């Protein structure tokens, strides 16, 4: 796998996450810090509110898609919220449960 392949894969993962939170992440800038923390910079306060409302789901999707273990929300260059709880076990069990339901 080349560096270009890795960069494209990373871009596709970010686009996939954005697709699940299209309205609230549309104008946000986000990136992974040390591959473990998803940093999200929101340009407007309503975007932060929207993401806070969906925070548990955002954590689960971020872990499944990007492999991050924490999320930090920023507004006006200040950290508003940081969730460092590892959610991988819950998300993967929900995913397995959902797959099992689809097969029934």
Least reliable range by pLDDT among 4-8, 13-17, 89-93: 89-93
Pull the structure tokens for residue 86.
């590892």
Please say if the pLDDT value at position 29 is more than 50. yes
Q: Where are the beta strands (DSSP E) in the chain?
A: 29-33, 37-42, 70-75, 78-83
pTM: 0.77
Q: What is the mean pLDDT of residues 58-76?
A: 94
The answer for residues whose C-beta is within 8 angstroms of residue 60's C-beta and 6 or more apart is 87, 90, 91, 94
Q: For residue 30, give the nearest of 9, 15, 46, 50 by alpha carbon.
A: 15
73: β partners: 40, 81
| pLDDT, position 35 | 77
Pull the structure tokens for residue 70.
């924490």
- CATH number belonging to domain 3-103: 3.30.300
């Amino acid at each position: 796998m080349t560096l270009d392949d890795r960069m494209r894969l990373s871009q596709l993962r970010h686009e996939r996450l954005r697709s699940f939170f299209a309205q609230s992440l549309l104008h946000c800038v986000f990136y992974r810090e040390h591959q473990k923390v998803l940093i999200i910079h929101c340009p407007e306060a309503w975007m932060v509110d929207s993401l806070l409302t969906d925070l548990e789901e955002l954590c689960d999707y971020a872990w499944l898609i990007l492999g991050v273990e924490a999320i930090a929300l920023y507004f006006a260059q200040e950290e508003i919220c940081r969730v460092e709880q590892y959610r991988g076990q819950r998300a993967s069990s929900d995913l397995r449960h959902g797959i099992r339901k689809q097969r029934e």
